[in-house]
Amino acid sequence: MKTGIRLTSMVKTSGCAAKLPPEKLHRIIDNLPLMKNDKLLEGFESADDALVYQVTDDIVSVQTVDFFPPMVDDPYVFGQVAAANALSDVYAMGGEPAVAMNLLCFPSCLDLEVMDQILRGGISKVKEAGAVIAGGHTIADPTPKYGLCVTGFMHKNDVWSNKGALPGDAAVLTKALGVGIVNTAAKADEASSESVAQAVASMTCLNKKARDTARSYRIHAATDVTGFSLAGHSQECASASKVTIEIETKALPLIEGALELARFGFIPEGRYTNEDYLFDKVSFSSSVTQELIDICYDPQTSGGLLLFMPMSDAEAFVSKMDSPSCKIIGKVVEKQKKDVLFA
């Protein structure tokens, strides 16, 4: 939709790159009192993707919330990306989204047609997920922001967690990296149409197929790769699982042009705040180029699933997915000094 207004010109940071720096966030939440409840099976203490609350002896609810400012100018596509990103946290837990509520901050200076298109974009992805939107909340705000609160339901024994990865497991990533870098370059009109199209296709793609396919295999741990970057989300899994994850950077699937754009300096601010938090938790081999380091710290928006499973299952899963963006990118080893080792 052409509105005559560039949504990205109204924001300083875009998509998941707009999230608070993890170092500042953890400084607060790590010291908050934990609210315990026998029915709360997963909270925020292990940085898992969604909470898990027991409903019956066998059924649990999986709930998440996510919203952010636009990373694209088309309001309909923005709505699609924001919805896909919010739905992803339920898929990362192995769940099935059931019901969602809109969260919308909207500037009074924008035409209401823009609001309509954002919400319609969100509806399209929630419908594709097989869920429903049942209302929501709006507030006037100079910076447009959109997202969802999503609830899913599943069998208690089928829940995935970001802890449980075992030595010998393969690490599988289901989407290409570099979205934050491409979006930063696109905002300056320096990204190619091919790079932008590939990034948009990735961000609007639900993780439903990956979740559905992975359910046939032995998933020991899972998460999705979003604003905390591949390095950050890998580190969370390694720390929670009490293992070390080795990642082969040459095996990483990449958005077309992302390496070149990183080389030219189109780096989102979140890349640096991610590194600031992770500098003593991960390490890079001297052979890893600066551009690949930038990719590994790049905040992703609506990124892929990061799955840990036996190598034989991983090979079968990647074959079944039949996507150039779905690759085995590393393996799990016994705990070492660093949580993640990039080679």
Cβ pair 87, 122 in contact under 8 A: no
Q: Specify burial of residue 110 (Cβ count, 10 A radius: 0-12, 13-18, 19+).
A: middle
Q: Provide the pLDDT for residue 27.
A: 80
pLDDT of residue 215: 96
Instruction: Return the CA Rg of the chain.
Output: 19
Supply the pLDDT for residue 33: 80
Which pLDDT value is given to residue 31?
Answer: 78
Q: Are strands 327-333 and 244-247 parallel, antiparallel or unpaired?
A: antiparallel
Alpha carbons 78 and 190: distance in angstroms, whole number = 20
pLDDT of residue 48: 62
What per-residue confidence (pLDDT) applies to 4? 61
Q: What are phi and psi of 152, to 5 degrees?
A: -125, 170
DSSP per residue, 51-92? EEEE-SSSEEEEEEEEEE--SSS-HHHHHHHHHHHHHHHHHH
User: Are 35 and 148 within 8 A, CB to CB?
Assistant: no
Task: Tell me the CATH number for domain 169-342.
Answer: 3.90.650.10
Q: Per-block average pLDDT, block size 10, for the chain (343 residues)?
A: 70 66 76 80 68 92 93 95 96 96 94 96 98 95 95 94 96 98 94 97 98 97 95 96 97 97 94 93 96 97 97 98 97 97 97
Nearest to 277 by CA among 10, 25, 19: 25
Class of domain 7-158: alpha beta
Do 7-158 and 169-342 fold alike per CATH? no
pTM: 0.92
Residue spans of the domains in the chain: they are 7-158, 169-342
**Residues 6+ positions from 193 with CB-CB distance below 8 Å:** none
The residues assigned a catalytic role are 16
* Max Cα-Cα span within the chain: 56
Distance CA 177, CA 196 (A): 13
